[in-house]
Amino acid sequence: MGQGSRWGRIAGRELTTVAITIFGLLLVTFLIARVMPIDPVLAVVGDRAPADVYEKARLDLGLDKPLWQQFAIYIGKVFSGDLGRSVLTSNLVTEDLRTVFPATLELATLGTLIGVVIGVPFGVVAATHQGRWPDQIARIVGLFGYSIPVFWLGLMGLLLFYAKLGWVAGPGRVGVAYQDLFDPITGIVVLDAALQGEWDAFRDAFSHLILPASVLGILSVAYISRMTRSFMINELQQQYVVAARVKGVSEFRVVWGHALRNAVVPLVTVIALSYMHLLEGSVLTETIFAWPGLGRYLTNSLLNADMNAVLGGTLLVGAVFIGINLLSDIVGRLADPRAR
Amino acid sequence: MTEIRAPMAGEPPLLEVDNLKVDFHTATGIVHAVRGLSFSLGRERLGIVGESGSGKSMTGRAILDLIPHPGVVTADRMAFRGRDLVQMERKERRKLRGRHISMVMQDPKFSLNPVETVGNQIAEAYRIHRKAGGREARERSLAMLEAVQIREPARVYDLYPHEVSGGMGQRVMIAMMLIAEPEILIADEPTSALDVTVQLQILKILDELVSERGMGLIFISHDLHLVQSFCDRVIVMYGGKVMETLPAAELADLSARDRRHPYTRGLLGCLPDLDHPQAKLATLTRDPAWLA
Amino acid sequence: MSDTSLKSGGWHDWLITNEPGSRRQARLGQLYRQWLALRRNPAAMAGLFIVLGLLLVAAFAPLVAPYDPLVQSLGERLRPPSSANWFGTDALGRDIFSRVVYGTRVTLVIVLLVVITVGPIGLLIGCAAGYLGGWVDTVLMRITDVFLAFPRLVLALAFVAALGPGLENAVIAIAFTAWPPYARVARAETLVIRKADYISAVRLQGASQWRIVWRHVVPMCMPSLIVRTTFDMAGIILTAAGLGFLGLGAQPPIPEWGAMISAGREQIFDQWWVATFPGLAICVVALGFNLLGDGLRDVMDAR
């Protein structure tokens, strides 16, 4: 009874939030483009253009119109998928983003996976051994994860595991020899290689991927294990845990079944946050690993004042953030019968 | 000591406890939660009364081996039907829980797992001990829901704890704790979180199930009236010690009052009595010598 | 704690008394108690030690550093660590140890500027939203949520790209993206405080809204805000270093740690020390703030 209208309300609220956030994102990127001290007209026509050419370009760009109209035009363009052309690559920004984004997605996804697979059990064990050595280790890992600059960790990783030990492949995404062995289906190299049965290429791609993903993963492990620990400590103090023990449930099932199942509800948000964090971290690590992803694209564009590319990349990251937020809200609701 | 229902000849009592102690080692020193409790339980209803902090709840948890970390349990003897609990492995103790000794807790709002349907929680208790399949566990759970007088068991089975009322939650709790047919049930303030109107129903269900199945019941409560009307025998605890053990009927017996321990008399004196109204209720006096 | 009372005698008693004679004594006494609690936490003390060390090194950088951080000496390029150059020299022959030492000043300036800007803004927005409630709250929190949902680093990058690289712009960019969590914390605290009886009492005495917020709500928000800030310092240091690393923060030849790591990138496989030591410096300082923040939270946020 009233179930339908409740869901309607929730959906309405979520959509409003998304709409407002997207509007804010557009406004901020628009304003950033406006405060830029570089004259956007000169960027198009070059600084030696005659006055009439300059004036025509200014009108073409709509820079004579009031600010709010320019903003409206900007919104219209973004929604029709027009992010302009990159000065640096002379491609459409949307085209560029389509090729670089899967690489970043690959990195951040594996990083988060590492974070979940290691961080969650680590946090659970820390919570059940509060104050004893697993807890201390988790605490130290957490503090270090919060204190190490990713890009430096990446460099140190390359130095140790690539240069000194030779365990992994160096910078780049896949060796030159393997590059043309498979077609880009998903754009995610390890997946494409695996789908087409090119196992040598897969191995090579994986050995390129594992180090940057692990570097990001350490950040994720630090954050996720710390949060898991505090959620689990909270859950293990609840009465339902005592009740489960009274029933005769084994300690293993009490911890990993009952308590962890409850901790999953807040953990969903944490994992989403961690994923977003890694997308950002990839901006700093991709340069080091010569990883042809969104991060490197953004930094290259930044250094060359390629504003269309910078804003396009920022918009994409922002949009992905909004998407992940929405998704984590939905998953969180599904995981919690009280919020369903 | 008057035994209401004498244990059958040759059969050891369900539970024997001799000199049970629960200590908590904290940074500021040792806290003695229970100091030398002894009693034995047959197929009867034994009440444990006392104020909060008297160690009555700790007693229940110590029997179940559920004292949390800094707590240490010692006893000269603690035996379930002659089997020594003190020497028993933790794993064996766990197998006793739910199957042979069980507990109904205070507040169903917090004692039921919020992300699992109540039916599955009952079925889980059955499956742990009976190695039964999903279908059998479900059927037994539905029957158990019926036994605690829930009208539409099939519907309630799939509800989540936040979707049931307090009274229904406590019936679910009783169903969950009795489905494996334990011999002893500890009821730790089973009705104090419930509305007054529901309390009596829950007690009635509890009473019927306990006597039908010939179980031993340890009824922990701070409510003297309740214990007096519900139990056969009463242990009065204060500061982790037993002040006295007496048949419940004698609590009500005014003529016997003078023979009571001063603490019991104090507790009784604090209760308002419609037949003998007093202008001012007595305050409880406590004597440190009782704990010596 | 009997040894402390013997050592500090009268002061200890004056501070620890349960019947303070003045408001000042009560306040100092509370601080002193928190200090005693903090002192029992070895990790927090290690953090405090690192942070104090950072302040001292920054203050006395000319005395600590054996060389001028900016003087190039091309004959001494890329020397490995030795007794003369503890951390080796970089591609321009500058002493890396001296540059790391002077880098503490850059780091401190960035952190302090960001905190000075962000703290008050967050506090103001959070307290206003929490205390005034209604549509003010809705609007302010919507804006905060929008900012929270943004990619902080990427946004800061776009900002610096627009404003042009440099230390000041990096500070502005970080501050621009760092305030929302502060506003959230301040609002949450205010919501609790607002309902307290003593606020009603002040209101009944006829105090103005501003006076209530400024004199009674803001001070109560301070402890959580200080804890939050200490934690955030590490994050700010890392972000600033990231901007420096990308060439968008402090410009050469300023000895900024992130930029120094970036400069050592080309030589990482042959001259590992160039990038390693500035990175270690970042780790140590960030760890110091994290440890201290952790300890302060236990002491001050005991709720």
pLDDT reading at C302 higher than 70 = no
Q: Spell out which residues of chain C touch residue A211, defining contact as CB-CB under 8 Å.
A: none
Q: What is the pLDDT of residue A35?
A: 67
pLDDT reading at A41 higher than 50 = yes
Confidence of residue A112 (pLDDT cuts 50, 70, 90): very high
Contacts of C86 (CB under 8 A, 6+ apart): C97
Rounded to whole angstroms, the Cα distance separating A288 from A171 reads 7
**Whole-Å CA distances, B99 to A57, A260, B170:** 84, 25, 19
Nearest to A283 among C143, C153, C163 (CB): C153
Higher pLDDT, A71 or C16: A71
Q: What is the pLDDT of residue C4?
A: 43
Higher pLDDT, C172 or A43: C172
Partners for C (CB, 8 Å, 3+ pairs)? Answer: A
Q: Cβ separation of C247 and A37 shorter than 8 Å? A: no
Torsion of CA B99, B101, B107, B108, to 10 degrees: 10
Residue B16 DSSP SS3: strand
pLDDT digits (tens, 9 = 90+) for B72-112: 999 999 999 988 998 999 889 999 999 999 999 988 889 99
Tokens of C228: 């939050």
Closest approach of A243 to chain C, Cα-based (Å): 27
Q: What is the pLDDT of residue C249?
A: 84
Greatest CA separation for chain C:
76
Q: What is the pLDDT of residue C303?
A: 44
Q: Spell out which residues of chain A touch residue B125, defining contact as CB-CB under 8 Å.
A: 247-248
pLDDT reading at B6 higher than 50 = no
Confidence of residue A65 (pLDDT cuts 50, 70, 90): confident
Confidence of residue C156 (pLDDT cuts 50, 70, 90): confident
User: For residue C298, is it left (φ>0), alpha (ψ between -120 and 50) or beta?
Assistant: alpha
Pinpoint the alpha helices (H) of B179-234: 196-212, 224-230
* Residue of C153, C159, C280 best to disrupt the A interface, most CBs of A under 10 A: C153
Count of H-run helices and E-run strands, chain C? 13, 0
Q: Cβ separation of B180 and A335 shorter than 8 Å? A: no
Average pLDDT for chain B: 86
Closest approach of A250 to chain C, Cα-based (Å): 33
Q: What is the pLDDT of residue B10?
A: 62
Confidence of residue A283 (pLDDT cuts 50, 70, 90): confident
pLDDT reading at C227 higher than 90 = no
pLDDT digits (tens, 9 = 90+) for C50-66: 999 999 998 998 888 88
Q: Are B183 and B100 in contact (CB under 8 A)?
A: yes
Confidence of residue C3 (pLDDT cuts 50, 70, 90): very low
Least trusted range by pLDDT, from A160-164, B177-181, B244-248, C151-155? C151-155
Q: What is the pLDDT of residue C295?
A: 84
Confidence of residue A39 (pLDDT cuts 50, 70, 90): low
pLDDT reading at B56 higher than 90 = no
Q: Cβ separation of B64 and A247 shorter than 8 Å? A: no
A near C: at least 3 beta-carbon pairs less than 8 Å apart: yes
pLDDT reading at C2 higher than 50 = no
Rounded to whole angstroms, the Cα distance separating A61 from A70 reads 9
B near C: at least 3 beta-carbon pairs less than 8 Å apart: no
Q: What is the pLDDT of residue A1?
A: 46
Rounded to whole angstroms, the Cα distance separating B141 from B147 reads 10
Q: Spell out which residues of chain A touch residue C158, defining contact as CB-CB under 8 Å.
A: 29, 32, 302, 310-311, 314
Q: Spell out which residues of chain A touch residue B98, defining contact as CB-CB under 8 Å.
A: 246-249
Nearest to A302 among C151, C235, C248 (CB): C248
B63: closest chain A residue by CA: A246
B64: closest chain A residue by CA: A246
Q: What is the pTM of this model?
A: 0.85
Tokens of B116: 């699992």
Rounded to whole angstroms, the Cα distance separating B195 from B189 reads 13
Partners for B (CB, 8 Å, 3+ pairs)? Answer: A
Rounded to whole angstroms, the Cα distance separating B287 from B292 reads 10
Rounded to whole angstroms, the Cα distance separating A283 from A216 reads 11
pLDDT reading at C5 higher than 50 = no
Q: Spell out which residues of chain A touch residue B173, defining contact as CB-CB under 8 Å.
A: 243
Closest approach of B270 to chain A, Cα-based (Å): 31
Q: What is the pLDDT of residue A43?
A: 64
Mean pLDDT across A128-145? 87
Domain boundaries, chain C: 1-40, 53-300
- What is the domain class of C53-300 according to CATH? mainly alpha
Rounded to whole angstroms, the Cα distance separating B1 from C255 reads 87
Closest approach of A36 to chain C, Cα-based (Å): 4
Q: Spell out which residues of chain B touch residue A262, defining contact as CB-CB under 8 Å.
A: 113-115
Closest approach of C151 to chain A, Cα-based (Å): 6
User: Residue type at C270?
Assistant: D
Partners for A (CB, 8 Å, 3+ pairs)? Answer: B, C
Rounded to whole angstroms, the Cα distance separating A76 from A59 reads 17
Using beta carbons and an 8 Å cutoff, which residues of B are at the interface with A? 64, 66, 94-99, 102-103, 105-107, 110-116, 124-125, 128-129, 160, 162, 173, 176-177, 180
pLDDT digits (tens, 9 = 90+) for B7-33: 455 677 899 999 999 999 877 778 888
Rounded to whole angstroms, the Cα distance separating B260 from B132 reads 50
Higher pLDDT, A126 or B248: A126
Q: What is the pLDDT of residue B8?
A: 52
Least trusted range by pLDDT, from A265-269, C222-226, C256-260? C222-226
pLDDT reading at C224 higher than 60 = yes
Confidence of residue C21 (pLDDT cuts 50, 70, 90): confident
Nearest to B66 among A246, A258, A335 (CB): A246
Nearest to A155 among C265, C283, C294 (CB): C265
Nearest to C146 among A21, A36, A148 (CB): A21
Tell the burial category of B95 from Cβ atoms under 10 Å away from its Cβ (0-12, 13-18, 19+).
Answer: middle
Residue B49 DSSP SS3: strand
pLDDT digits (tens, 9 = 90+) for B222-276: 888 888 888 999 999 988 888 888 888 887 777 777 777 878 877 777 777 767 7
pLDDT reading at B2 higher than 50 = no
- Topology of B12-91+184-292 in CATH? Rossmann fold (3.40.50)
Confidence of residue C146 (pLDDT cuts 50, 70, 90): confident
Q: Are A258 and A266 in contact (CB under 8 A)?
A: no
Q: What is the pLDDT of residue C27?
A: 79
Nearest to A239 among B107, B128, B160 (CB): B107
Mean pLDDT across C151-177? 84
Contacts of B183 (CB under 8 A, 6+ apart): B14, B81, B100, B101, B215, B216
Mean pLDDT across C106-135? 88
Closest approach of B232 to chain A, Cα-based (Å): 25
Q: Which of C191, C236, C235 is nearest to C217 (CA)?
A: C191
Domain A93-339 sits in which CATH superfamily? MetI-like (1.10.3720.10)
Q: Spell out which residues of chain B touch residue A251, defining contact as CB-CB under 8 Å.
A: 94
Q: Cβ separation of A243 and B128 shorter than 8 Å? A: no
